[in-house]
A and B are shown apart, each in its own frame.
Chain A
Amino acid sequence: YRDLHTFELQAPTRVIEWARGSRVCVAGYGQSGGNEILQLIPPPALQAKETQGLCPERDFKVECGGFSKRPVHSLKYVPDTSLLVTSGPPDSSLQVWQVSAEDSDVIKSVSTIATENATGQPWARIATISARAHWVLHGSTLESVQITEVELRKNVYTAGSLGSEELAGLAFLDGSTALLCCTRGRLCVADVRQPRGALQALPAPAAPAGDRWCLGTACAAQGSGPAPQPVACLSSRGLLTLTDLRKASETLASAAARVPSPSSGAEFLCVSWAPALQGCLAVSGFDGTVHVYDTQSWDSSGREAEPLFVHKGHVLDGTGDPALVTVHTWHPQKPRTVLSAASDGSLHVWDWVQP
């Protein structure tokens, strides 16, 4: 490590989202209510470009907080507004919150975006993109994908149905295209400019049935180079497949991450591309570790890949039940800085050294 900071949140989180001004947002997912949504100001060391040493300010500060009765499974900021949107069981509706850090430090619940036949549905996945301010793409199954304009609370797009499979994730590829990933691994693409557009399924890789999958896309419009990052999919068995959407019929590359077997479920599977390191991605959710891989050397054989770096902090720190990493995210500017959170409430910020 070049740097390692460990923090303890009062309650574990499964979301870490970046907001304007280097803010970070986390939220609790406890079943019995009283969950806190916290917008944090990271220590100056994290905000500065140069890593400093013994900085006087090494702590996160809670800038503002709110209370959610539901467990928060997904949280996204709505671009160009002071709103954020959360979702969680027991249904697929979204909760809208107002963050006004200058006036008060309370995040207020503002409204709810209800969805048809919401009860009994799994919780909704959410995505936003800065190119489309006020738009929130959400859905819990393939047949309930829609975009809501948050300020007007109006539906602006509903996807046609391609089945009722549960969604593992969705993302904007750009201002007019959305990508959907089902828990069983199927990928679909939608043109969101057409209010009732049809979904286009992508040929699926040959995946063993029973695996659950999750999605990782590169941040679109982040000054992407000539070749946009492929889409990464991670299975609960540790299989990573990279797909180039322009040639979706064949897998670009795939590898197997070294994971303990049997894996403890796919609840917290997470895969993400490094925004400032070409070809690097991080994987977590199998145990208390986070793996970083360099995909540039991968081929399509699906062989086991050697990670560039393994963060074991969540395992070594805890006493008692082993912690499970619930989520991780990359720092948008600092190339090798990663934030990871685990089920024991720990929050780590680490800067790894290229071996």
Chain B
Amino acid sequence: LLAFSSCPGAGQDVGRSCILVSIAGKNVMLDCGMHMGYNDDRRFPDFSYITQNGRLTDFLDCVIISHFHLDHCGALPYFSEMVGYDGPIYMTHPTKAICPILLEDYRKITVDKKGETNFFTSQMIKDCMKKVVAVHLHQTVQVDEELEIKAYYAGHVLGAAMFQIKVGCESVVYTGDYNMTPDRHLGAAWIDKCRPDLLISESTYATTIRDSKRCRERDFLKKVHETVERGGKVLIPVFALGRAQELCILLETFWERMNLKAPIYFSTGLTEKANHYYKLFITWTNQKIRKTFVQRNMFEFKHIKAFDRAFADNPGPMVVFATPGMLHAGQSLQIFRKWAGNEKNMVIMPGYCVQGTVGHKILSGQRKLEMEGRQILEVKMQVEYMSFSAHADAKGIMQLIRQAEPRNVLLVHGEAKKMEFLKQKIEQEFHVSCYMPANGETTTIFTNPSIPVDISLGLLKREAAIGPVPDAKKPKLMHGTLLMKDNSFRLVSPEQALKELGLAEHQLRFTCRVHIQDPRKEHETVLRVYNHLKGVLKDYSVQHLPDGSITVESILIQATAHSEDQGTKVLLVSWTYQDEELGSYLTSLLKKGLPQSTS
């Protein structure tokens, strides 16, 4: 029995992911995300939901984080340090390396910029990461004697993984966010035919038909080119890792092809850090990058140079990649302030911006921003948004289901009403049940576990000796007694079962009365019966005992006179349960009456 509970969090709420799975008595938390849209307690999942009393550390066997996006790991320090959890937290190596950076960044915005108090501290982030156990792809990790987990490549971002959770013969696969098509720097998600009882898949883009990457890239390059051609400057705020690399590779190729001269800059801190991580996690990038990495460092570009603060004041066109990605502090904000006033310039936001950041404000259309010291900044530069995020669409979800062959599918991260069609599509094509729980809803999925039963050798030998030898095409029915003791199941013979349990075998005896019209004396009736039976039942042992009773095999027949009517004799036919068949036969035979005989 598999029970699944969606923490107020994932499930029809694209904000944050946090899923609780109960499998064969083990409790696992999948992701611990934070809702980017809320500023108050609603941004964190409601953990009191998990267990009313008792400590989370006792209740949960482990926590698994799929990748470093804040809507999957943003609430982790809050959960482990402020709510309280000391058990193991599993994630891939790149995720472990990058998570703390993002969490610290987010903490700085929330606390320093927005002045919030009920938030986790830098120390908490560090303490939280100490509880993390990093795993490799396709490595089976034993969490305890019964629970094991394994990570699969998910694409999407560096280090993102899909996890298989297995207890005995029951298993669940959680996809996190994944992508079934490779892009310029990451490969596509892949899983083997592991046939889990349940596949939990994200469905953010299930109802989307995305326009081709080529078109999006073409438009992006067109915008950049147009701006640069008219002498403007392009600012692209990025986070150190992820789409930045993708866009760099894209621009480099374009600059080379079009023979453009305008400089492209990349913040120094960024290059070093990025290169460091990519070298460290080269196996996580795609095939093409790995191949070229041998000849030259893919992330060392001919047209892209290291940036110096002073360059921002240089005249003429240029393109600059700077951190942080949401324009909330640091270098990218500095550059933005310098360039915002000129309408020839452009800023392209390549991803989601948290509420409260400058990035979010300008994307919402604000053109007059209040900076420190009550200064008003007028934004005349062009503001563009270009999303390159990689999620699986309906086609990708179907592909993954086809690869893994789950028995049930559960969709999270999508919009309620708009998933009925996909649910039917999945059910029709794969003949599996598809669930779409709402926030806080528990879904119960029934599994067919296979239970191993030991059979005693004696019983096996005895049954095999009776009748024809059983083979795969002709199954044979056998009788035995199932003993369930502790957690073991054994099939033994009834005698052995009785012996082991210290029970005595009961005998069941049936007695039937047959009335026969015979005025003669009892012993004469008995003789008549005896002769009759001896004549009819030639294959059976019919005996006339000295005490006046007749035995047919082990069946006993005795005659007495009827109490009220001397002319009627009463035959008592008595047999044990084992002789049921013969006993019934004898009874019906005698009921037919005795032949007129001459004794």
Contact = CB atoms under 8 A, between A and B. Distances in A.
Interface of A: 4-10, 34, 36, 40, 43, 53-54, 56, 58-67, 104-106, 317, 347
A345 to B, nearest CB: 10
Interface in B361-419: 384-387, 394-395, 398, 417-419
DSSP majority for the A interface?
Answer: strand
Q: Is the interface of B mostly helix, strand, loop or mixed?
A: helix
Contacts, number: 80
A54 B215 contact: no
A58 B211 contact: yes
Interface of B: 207-212, 214-216, 218-220, 223, 348, 384-387, 394-395, 398, 417-421, 424-425, 428-429
Contacts of A10: 394-395, 398
A62 B384 contact: no
Nearest to B348: A54
21 contacts: A4-B215, A4-B218, A5-B211, A5-B212, A6-B211, A6-B214, A6-B215, A36-B425, A40-B209, A53-B219, A53-B223, A54-B348, A59-B209, A62-B207, A62-B209, A65-B421, A65-B425, A104-B420, A105-B419, A105-B421, A347-B209
Given A36-B425, A65-B425, A105-B419, A6 B212 contact: yes
A288 to B, nearest CB: 16
Contacts of B421: 62, 64-66, 105-106
A317 B386 CA distance: 23
A54 B211 contact: no
A58 B216 contact: yes
A239 B402 CA distance: 47
Contacts of B216: 58
Contact of B223 (A9, A54, A67, A106): A54
A36 B429 CA distance: 12
B385 A61 contact: no
A28 B269 CA distance: 51
Contact of A61 (B208, B384, B417): B208
A105 B423 CA distance: 10
B209 A106 contact: no
A62 B348 CA distance: 28
B219 A54 contact: yes
Nearest to A54: B384
Contacts of A56: 385-387
Given A53-B384, A56-B387, A105 B417 contact: yes
B479 to A, nearest CB: 48
Given A54-B384, A67-B424, A8 B223 contact: no
Contacts of B425: 36, 65, 67
A84 B348 CA distance: 42
A104 B428 contact: no
Which of B207, B216, B429 has its CB near the most chain A CB atoms (within 10 A)?
A: B207
A286 B89 CA distance: 60
Contacts of A43: 211
Contact of B209 (A8, A34, A54, A104): A8
A95 to B, nearest CB: 17
A220 to B, nearest CB: 31
Contacts of A53: 219, 223, 384
Given A53-B223, A54-B219, A54-B223, A106 B211 contact: no
Contacts of A65: 421, 425
B180 to A, nearest CB: 12
A269 to B, nearest CB: 26
Contacts of A62: 207-209, 394, 418, 421
A81 B208 CA distance: 26
Contacts of B218: 4
B388 to A, nearest CB: 11
A39 to B, nearest CB: 10
Nearest 8 Cβ contacts at the A-B interface? A60-B209, A65-B421, A54-B384, A62-B207, A6-B212, A56-B385, A105-B421, A5-B211
Given A10-B395, A54-B385, A56-B385, A61 B209 contact: yes
Contacts of B223: 53-54
B394 to A, nearest CB: 7
Given A36-B425, A67-B428, A106-B421, A59 B394 contact: no
A36 B420 CA distance: 14
B395 A34 contact: no
B207 A61 contact: yes
Given A53-B223, A62-B209, 19 more contacts: A5-B212, A7-B211, A8-B209, A10-B395, A10-B398, A34-B429, A53-B384, A54-B348, A54-B384, A54-B386, A62-B207, A63-B207, A67-B428, A104-B417, A104-B420, A105-B207, A105-B417, A105-B418, A105-B419
A59 B210 contact: yes
